[in-house]
Amino acid sequence: MTRYHGFLLGLFSAVWVWAAIEPRYPHDWLLENYLVFVFVPVILLTGRYFRLSNLSYTLVTVFMLLHVVGSHYTYAEVPFGTTLQHWFGSGRNMYDRLVHFSFGLLLVYPLREIFMRVAKARGVWAYWFPLELVLAFSAAYEIIEWRVAARVDPAAGLAFLGAQGDVWDAQKDMALAVIGAAITLAIVALIHWRYDPAFGGDLRASLKIEPGDRPLGEQALRQMLKGRRKRGE
């Protein structure tokens, strides 16, 4: 662990301890922190074998700090969310919306970095697939929120969900995450367009179909079945 990584971990730990001291709704705080209990150890354990850039770790830390602050007050009662509510003339506390927007805005870059290094995505796919991952993770989190709220602690379920009476809350949260991700990816694309001479060529090459390319589905299945029959003879 580098000194900078230690600084990020120390900053997060300090804010987490503050948030854990007399949270407004202890049951809701516990539900919200399941994400912390799972996500933070995963980052620490994988950091030894698959280290991300300092920028990615910074963005992840900022997002986790936003989440931890929300868990202390509960998302529907964060004071800064009330300030946003007045700014936007909304009828609800806007902190939940801010965090979902930040999910896409802050985490799509680390997801892009992982996808490019593991799946070797290039060109258009280095932008499209991370955007789709944000949408998929947002939908998965909404489903997890629903099941956790319903099964683990129904009494704290409404505070945990943070819907604040909006029947379209889940859909709006997912849309904001995608918008945030699109903004970050647009900024990344503009930087590459301005400073990377190979940017345009990479985009075109990623859409090119190689000569001799063939459909994989039924042909690959047929080959597997033939191989299985030969092994059985």
pLDDT of the residue at 9: 93
How far does CA 163 lie from the centroid of its chain? 19
pLDDT digits (tens, 9 = 90+) for 9-41: 999 999 999 999 988 888 778 878 888 898 899
pLDDT digits (tens, 9 = 90+) for 62-73: 999 999 998 898
State if pTM tops 0.85.
no
Which of the two residues, 87 and 135, has the higher pLDDT score?
135
- The span from the CA of 189 to the CA of 197, in Å, is 12
**For 79-84, what is the mean pLDDT?**
84
Please give the angle made by the CA atoms of 15, 20 and 22, to the nearest 5 degrees.
125
pLDDT of the residue at 158: 54
165 falls in which pLDDT band (50, 70, 90)? low
**For 164-191, what is the mean pLDDT?**
87
Cα dist from 69 to 89, 133, 158, whole Å: 23, 25, 18
- The span from the CA of 19 to the CA of 205, in Å, is 48
For residue 211, pLDDT beyond 90: no
pLDDT of the residue at 54: 95
